[in-house]
Structure 1
Amino acid sequence: MLLAGLVAVTAVGLGAAGLPSPDLFAGLVVGLAYALLARDELRLPGWTGTAAQGVIGVVMGTLVQPDTLRPLAGYWLPVTFITLATLLLTVLAGLLLARFTTLGRTTAIFGMIAGGASGIVAISDELGADGRYVAVLQYLRLLLIVVLMPVAVVVIFGTDGRQGDLGAGSGPAGPWPVAVLGVIVLAVVGTWVARVLRVPAPSLLGPMVLAAALTAAGIEVVPSVPVLLTSAAFAVVGAEVGLRFTPETLRTLRRILPAGLFLIVSLIVLCGGLGVLLSVMTGLTPLDGYLATTPGGIFVVLAVAAGADANSTVVVAVQVLRMLVMLLAGPALARLLSGRDGGPDR
């Protein structure tokens, strides 16, 4: 209970500071502090991680609204090309990180995959990566995006870098017991189907695909996922990762961060170039292209798009499509390319 209270207080503070995914980041920070300072070892029950992945999968799936996908109809070819190019860039960055550091390919690629950071962190251990390093690299990228994006919007595009109102991005809130029941049903059924089909990371990808399919078809099983449920799921994932840190982990981090930081900045710049290319191919403004191709931080991107009077519908559509592609194809590519490592990165 004390750990949960500390996570809640830390999340409020991080949220007030404007940091991305404050609940997950708070769980990571508190778990890290406990692992390094406490004398006894603490591990969360296994079912909590599975449940957290299911909730996160449902949350991501409900982003696939019909109104979100409709703008892609006129741009499907260039958007598909840009999305696949982004995926290839992130995989290449992961391979380079593995080449110039001591990280294995699986961990390095998962650390560089640009999309659905909370989902990637949640499934990284399950798919053979080391979640500690994946989490640090993923959230270092998000922090840099949060810091650099408003500057780029103002300096390069000459517009306002303030964040606007997203309008929650979901349907009207119903009774929370009904919403919780809907999340549970989607998580359980999606996980079961994914396991039957032998889908990797079934606890996340199964609920995500099921929720996305139903939402895209206009069937709102869960119009609005309860905020407390979502926050708890993110916090559990962060705490699970943080509790596994050791002093040796921190020493390794110091050695890999210079290369990781360089590659993350390079990835952000290259994705900005893809944004320019997207604007040329589609007739969108350069600002729309930049925001649509920013490698991560989807909720911050959408808030800035709303505040900068950008074409939010297209930005949402491209960002959601990229997130789905990264979560579905990224793990498979990571496993395929890590075959020479001889096993999980531990």
Structure 2
Amino acid sequence: MVSWTILAALVAGISTVLGLLGFPSAVLFGGLAGGLAFSLSTGRTVDVPSWSFTIAQAIIGVTVGAAVDFQTLADLGSDWPAVIVISVVTLVLSVVAGQLLRLHRGVSPVTASFASVAGGASGMTAVAHDLGADDRVVTVIQYLRVLVVLLAMPAAVSVVFHADTGTAAGVTAPATSAAGVAYSVLAVALGIGVGRALHLPSPAVLGALLASIALGAVPAFADVDVPPWVQAAGFVLIGLQVGLRFTLDSLRAIGRMIPTALLVIAIIIGACAAFGVLLARLTGVSELDAYLATTPGGLYAVLATSADTGGNVTFVTAVQIIRLLLVLLAAPLLGRWLTRRSG
């Protein structure tokens, strides 16, 4: 009980500070940093039940599935081909750029790919361990990219695109409701069962993703969101599982990767911006909307920025969700192919 009390205090305190500082996914990094601090400073060990990580993975899958709105996707109309092609090319380029991380000893092709793939940071963090990647490296670099994106976005919007903010209501967090809780519980339970029955790679994430999309078609769960506290529970459990596996050697190794990681992140952000310009030319949307649609990370901040600048939120949402689904669906195939290729 003493160990759990110390761990809980560390996680709660760090999560609160990161939240006040506006850090992306504060509870996930609070869990990671709290677990890391506990592991390195106390020398104690705690046994986190494996089923808790499975549930956390399923919550991430449900959160992604709940964001899928078929009407929003249908509104793309004739822009579908351009969006799909640019999304696929962006993902391929980010994976290729990520191979620079292999310059550091011990980084496998799978880890390098999952750490650098553009978009879906929470999803990649959830599936990385199951698919053979080092989830410590993946988590740190994925969220380092999200942080860079969020810091760069205000400057890009105001300086490059000269956009005025405050022209529309922002995107607010989903409210807790009985239907939302029921939807989340059912989707998690069904998803884990379906994922295992179908022998899906990373069954909790992908099974819950499919179950949440299917349940979303039920009238009783129309327009229902996953409550914020449910999402927070999933994030903190995943962060905790990753953080508790850190050692001094692994921390030093990841620290040495940061300069290379920042170079990879710069390449990915620059490429996404260039593809955003191309997307604007192909679809006729504004360059600001195309930039936000192709931005590699920070989904909720992107949607809030789009709404706040009076942009085409429907288009931005659709493109971001398509890429997110492509990332999660392609990750198992990519992981298996890279594993076989590297022997």
Fold similarity call, TM over 0.5: yes
Q: Give the deviation of 1:219 after TM superposition.
A: 6.2
Who is 1:189 aligned against? 190
1:166 alignment counterpart: 171
Opposite residue 325 of structure 2, the aligned amino acid is L
Paired letter, 1:315: V
Is 1:52–1:234's contact at 8 Å kept on the other side of the alignment? Answer: yes
2:239 counterpart letter in structure 1: G
Give the residue type in structure 1 aligned to 2:15. A
Please report how far the alpha carbon of residue 335 of structure 1 lies from its aligned counterpart in structure 2 after TM superposition: 2.5
Aligned counterparts, 1:327-342, within 5 A? 327-342=328-343
Change (3 A) 1:41 1:145: same
State how far apart, in whole Å, the 1-side matches of 2:222 and 2:308 are.
30
1:113 to 117, 128, 136: 117
C-alpha distance in 1, partners of 2:72/2:10? Answer: 37
Q: CA deviation at 1:255?
A: 2.4
Report the number of matched residues.
338
How well do the aligned residues superpose, as a CA RMSD in angstroms? 2.1
Residues 114 and 325 (structure 1 numbering): CA distance in 2 closer, same or farther, change over 3 Å?
same
Structure 2 residue identity aligned to 1:302: L
Equivalent of residue 34 in structure 1, options 13, 35, 38:
38
CA distance in 2, matches of 1:4, 1:100: 34
Alpha-carbon shift at residue 83 of structure 1 (Å): 0.9
> What is the CA-CA distance between 1:180 and the residue it aligns to?
2.9
| Gap regions ≥5 residues in structure 1 | none
Q: Corresponding residue for 2:67?
A: 63
Q: Which has the higher contact order (CA 8 A, sep 6+)?
A: 1
Which runs of 5 or more residues in structure 2 are unaligned?
none
TM-score, normalised relative to structure 1: 0.91
The AA in structure 2 aligned to 1:323 is: L
Q: Which amino acid aligns with 1:112?
A: S
**Deviating more after overlay: 206-215 vs 43-52:** 206-215
Cα deviation, residue 92, structure 1 = 0.8
- Equivalent-residue separation in structure 2 for 1:288 and 1:332 (angstroms): 31
The farther-off stretch of 238-247 and 8-17 is 8-17
**Residue 310 of structure 1 aligns with which residue?**
311
Structure 2: distance between partners of 1:108 and 1:218: 42
Residue equivalent to 1:91: 95
Instruction: Judge conservation of contact 1:101–1:256 (CA < 8 Å) in 2.
Output: no
Kindly indicate whether residue 17 of structure 2 is the aligned counterpart of residue 17 of structure 1: no
**Does structure 1 retain, via aligned residues, the 8 Å contact 2:10–2:38?**
no
Identify which range, 98-107 or 205-214, moves more after superposition. Answer: 98-107
Deviations 1:109-147 (A, max 9, x none): 110122221121111111111111111111110110011
Matched, 1:47 2:51: yes
Change in 2 beyond 3 A, CA 1:243/1:79: same
CA gap of 1:91–1:269, structure 2 versus 1, over 3 A, is same
Q: Is the 2:33–2:243 contact (alpha carbons within 8 Å) kept by the matching residues of 1?
A: yes
Which residue of structure 2 lines up, in the alignment, with residue 230 of structure 1?
231
The residue identity in structure 2 corresponding to 1:279 is: A
Are the aligned partners of 1:31 and 1:240 in contact in 2 as well (CA < 8 Å)?
yes
CA contact (8 A) 2:176 2:228 kept: no
Contact 1:66 1:215 in 2 (8 A): no
Q: 1:99 to 1:213 in 2, by over 3 A?
A: farther
For 1:212 and 1:98, how far apart are their aligned partners in 2? Answer: 36
Secondary structure of the structure 2 residue equivalent to 1:310: coil
8 A contact 1:302–1:316 mirrored in 2: yes
Q: Is the CA contact (8 Å cut-off) linking 2:177 and 2:227 kept in structure 1?
A: no
Q: CA deviation at 1:340?
A: 3.6
Q: CA deviation at 1:262?
A: 0.2
CA distance in 1, matches of 2:77, 2:200: 28
Tell me the TM-score normalized by structure 2: 0.92
* 1:259 maps onto 2:263 in alignment: no
Structure 1 residues 164 and 235, CA, compared in 2 at 3 Å: closer, same or farther?
farther
8 Å contact from structure 2 (residues 10, 34) kept in 1:
yes
Q: Is the 8 A contact 2:94 2:268 kept in 1?
A: yes
How many percent identity over aligned positions? 41
- Residues 137-286 of structure 1 aligned to structure 2 (within 5 Å): 137-160=141-164, 165-168=170-173, 173-175=176-178, 178-215=179-216, 220=221, 223-286=224-287
Q: In 1, distance between residues paired with 2:140 and 2:165?
A: 26
How far apart are the structure 2 equivalents of 1:244 and 1:312?
Answer: 39
Counterpart-to-counterpart distance in 2, 1:31 and 1:100: 25
In terms of mean alpha carbon deviation, does 273-282 or 53-62 score higher?
53-62
Whole-angstrom distance in 2 between the partners of 1:235 and 1:167: 21
- Find the residue that maps to 2:76 and give its secondary structure: helix
Q: Is 1:76 matched up with 2:80? A: yes
Counterpart of 2:278, as a letter, is L
Question: Would the alpha carbon gap of residues 91 and 326 (structure 1) be closer, same or farther in structure 2, given more than 3 Å must change?
Answer: same
Please give the alpha-carbon distance, in whole angstroms, between the structure 1 residues aligned to 2:300 and 2:258. 25
Work out whether residues 151 and 161 of structure 1, in 8 Å CA contact, stay in contact via their aligned partners in 2: no
